[in-house]
Amino acid sequence: MRRCECLVLAVVWVSAVLLGCSSGYGDGAVAWEADGRPNIIVILVDDMGYSDIGATGGEIETPTLDRLASEGVLFTHMYNTSRCCPTRAALLTGQYQWDTGLGHMNTTNSPHPEYQRVMNEENVTIAEALWSAGYQTAMGGKWHVGDDRPYWPDRRGFDHFYGPPKGGGLYFWPSEFYDRPVYRDGELDEPEEGWYSTDGFTDYAIEYVKGVRDKDRPFFLYLAYVAPHFPLQAHERDIAKYEGRYDAGYEAIRVARFERQKAVGLVGADAVLPDAEHGPWASVKNKGAEAREMEVYAAMMDCLDQNLGRLMVVLEEEGIAENTVVMFLSDNGGCLADWNKTPNAELGTAQSNAAYGKWYNVSNTPYRKGKARTYEGGIVTPMIVHWPAGIERTGVFVREPTHVMDILPSCLEIAGVAYPESYEDRELDPVDGVSFVPLMNGGEGDADRALFFEHEGHRAARHGDWKLVANRGGAWELYNLADDPFEVHDLAGAEPEKAAELKAMYGAWAKAHGVRWPLK
């Protein structure tokens, strides 16, 4: 694959002597005695907005995540790729998605090697790298980086897998709208009627932690929930908790979230909330139905937090919570989809197929736009990292920009594993990500780091505090994020040299990585 010469390999290495172990790569997992290396759990949710948890200003009840944030660190600017498949590919491999072959979605048929339906083999996944170094590996939930059997998780380093290899949309079983069969270790495993995916994936994770894993070796668990992606479906008991809570409408909830963000220091005390994209609540014809959409969405998030609480209790009961690293983040911002394909069904039930529409602007407070766009609302997620044994300072914000492709090198550093040059007789591309482990305990990031984004012609480049961004077919806009974090004041006309500099950087990067749109 073509590589950007300006991006160098970040080789991650922690002395195995200090960790009481050694690392190596071979044809099979090596035998390890209990060595004190941490377990690692990466929790990825789907289409969650920036402010949808209490720790980032939300009114949705998320006590588990709020506790993890207060006992860990909250990364305020964990960038993603703005869409599900590309984010998963980048997270799993430490590479920009084009280098993995998933420059777009897993439904794309293209002659270009950067735009295929599956991840290529010019990389290793986190699971492959850790498995080769003695870790046990398991995954529960949405895979979405290779639908066909040869590309499932058990072919990419996972000892165990439970979930739908295809995309999201699956909540109550059976689904009336999406073909999402569930498999367990390669075998069809049809859930019982009434099964709900958020509960089911957590049940699997708990089963793995309590009874399946070898308790003398560390494990890596990748838990990829469908929630809160559409369709809006939730347990009635959870929806009931939020009845009436959103009757005040978009702006009242959005302003309240922004004020809470100010109160906790997430945004500056003098920050000004950008103009709304949702329009006036007074113009909404069926306010009851519109409020119900957000009630169901909140219930889906609430259920998710309840399930994470169940998992954390099990870690405590097993005596491993102290030395288990838990990372929590979303694959992109809140979704802009605005439709109801089942207007005669009750919102929230297994028979409803609807999205929450303009509430995305509330979910993504304080940022603009959302999923599939390259403004901050589409590509920024908060990330929580909880690790009592390894994080010295807690309850703090890490404001340096990071990227989902940094998760692989971070996991490897935590485990004391070096990124290999080859794996199973195949040569590997170097990683594009860098470890964020030093940032967790107060280290400084690279102020000169450049990050690039593109999805379906929407594109952006960030270099230091400067960001260049454009909608598909639109003109480039320039923002100084230090002064204007919500992308309000376009400086492209006032700073033409800076705009030209970032445009040239973006062009060189796109050429090196085979980025193109349209594909035909």
pLDDT interval class at 449 (50, 70, 90): very high
pLDDT at 21 over 60: no
Coil, helix or strand for 303? helix
The pLDDT of residue 20: 34
Question: 199 and 339 share a domain?
Answer: yes
Strand-by-strand arrangement of the 477-480 sheet: 450-455, 458-463, 466-470, 477-480
Residue with tokens 């102020």: 447
Question: 421 and 290 share a domain?
Answer: yes
Question: 498 and 361 share a domain?
Answer: no
The separation between CA 213 and the C-alpha centre of its own chain, rounded to angstroms, equals: 25
pLDDT interval class at 220 (50, 70, 90): very high
Question: 270 and 380 share a domain?
Answer: yes
Q: Identify whether the C-beta of residue 89 lies closer than 8 Å to the C-beta of residue 119.
A: yes
Classify each residue of 232-270 as buried b or exposed e, where b means 16 or more C-beta atoms within 10 Å of its C-beta. Answer: bbbbeebbeebeeebbebbbebbebbbebbbeeebbeee
The pLDDT of residue 262: 98
Q: Identify whether the C-beta of residue 333 lies closer than 8 Å to the C-beta of residue 377.
A: yes
What are residue 216's phi and psi, to 5 degrees?
-95, 0
pLDDT at 13 over 50: no
Residue with tokens 């000892």: 159
Show which of 409, 443, 477 is a domain's final residue.
443
pLDDT at 454 over 60: yes
Show which of 428, 443, 458 is a domain's final residue.
443
Question: 434 and 518 share a domain?
Answer: no
Q: Identify whether the C-beta of residue 208 lies closer than 8 Å to the C-beta of residue 315.
A: no
Q: Identify whether the C-beta of residue 350 lies closer than 8 Å to the C-beta of residue 171.
A: yes
pLDDT at 58 over 50: yes
Q: How far is CA 270 from CA 377, 418, 442, in A?
A: 20, 44, 26
The pLDDT of residue 104: 97
Residue 174 in domain: no
pLDDT digits (tens, 9 = 90+) for 155-172: 999 999 999 999 889 999
Residue 68 in domain: yes
Residue 517 in domain: yes
The pLDDT of residue 34: 52
Check residue 206 and report its DSSP letter: H
Tokens of 228: 């809160």
Angle at the Cα of 444 from the Cα atoms of 438 and 450, rounded to 5 degrees: 100
The pLDDT of residue 520: 80
Question: 407 and 511 share a domain?
Answer: no
Tokens of 47: 């289409």
Q: Give the separation between CA 453 and CA 333, rounded to whole angstroms.
A: 14
Tokens of 254: 């959005």
Question: Alpha-carbon torsion 65, 68, 70, 76, what sign?
Answer: negative
pLDDT digits (tens, 9 = 90+) for 267-313: 999 999 999 999 999 999 999 999 999 999 999 999 999 999 999 99
Show which of 391, 417, 443 is a domain's final residue.
443
Length of the chain: 520
Q: Identify whether the C-beta of residue 127 lies closer than 8 Å to the C-beta of residue 153.
A: yes
Question: 50 and 86 share a domain?
Answer: yes
Q: Which residue blocks in 225-345 are alpha helix, DSSP H? A: 236-240, 250-264, 287-317
Question: 480 and 375 share a domain?
Answer: no
pLDDT at 212 over 80: yes
Question: 390 and 416 share a domain?
Answer: yes
Q: Give the separation between CA 413 and CA 180, rounded to whole angstroms.
A: 35
Mean pLDDT of 389-417: 97
Rounded to the nearest integer, the mean pLDDT of the chain is: 93
pLDDT digits (tens, 9 = 90+) for 329-341: 999 999 999 999 9
Q: Give the separation between CA 479 and CA 467, rounded to whole angstroms.
A: 5
- Give the domain CATH number at 479: 3.30.1120.10
Q: Is 6 a catalytic residue?
A: no
Angle at the Cα of 275 from the Cα atoms of 269 and 278, rounded to 5 degrees: 125
Question: 296 and 323 share a domain?
Answer: yes
**% of the chain exceeding 70 in pLDDT:** 93
**Overall domain count for the chain:** 2
Residue 175 in domain: no
pLDDT interval class at 3 (50, 70, 90): very low
The β-bridge relationship of strands 422-423 and 160-163 is unpaired
Mean pLDDT of 350-362: 98
SS (H, E, C) 392-432: CCCCEEECCCEEHHHHHHHHHHHHCCCCCCEECCEECCCCC
Q: Identify whether the C-beta of residue 156 lies closer than 8 Å to the C-beta of residue 133.
A: no
Residue 180 in domain: no
pLDDT digits (tens, 9 = 90+) for 96-122: 999 999 999 999 889 999 999 999 999
Q: Is 84 a catalytic residue?
A: yes
Catalytic residue among 144, 403, 455, 513: 144
**What domain range includes position 367?**
16-22+34-158+194-443
The pLDDT of residue 28: 36
The pLDDT of residue 1: 41
203 Cβ contact partners less than 8 Å away, ≥ 6 residues apart: none
Q: Give the separation between CA 412 and CA 405, rounded to whole angstroms.
A: 12
Helix (H) or strand (E) holding 1: none
Catalytic residue among 84, 85, 335, 411: 84
Residue 381 in domain: yes
Query: Would the pTM of this model clear 0.85, i.e. be above it?
Result: yes
| Cis peptide preceding 366, ω within 30 of 0 | yes
Mean pLDDT of 64-77: 98
Question: 300 and 315 share a domain?
Answer: yes
Q: How is the chain split among helix, strand and coil, in percent rounded to 5? A: 30, 15, 55
On the 0-12 / 13-18 / 19+ scale of CB atoms within 10 A, 181 is middle
Question: 219 and 325 share a domain?
Answer: yes
Closest CA to 119 of 426, 376, 387, 442: 426
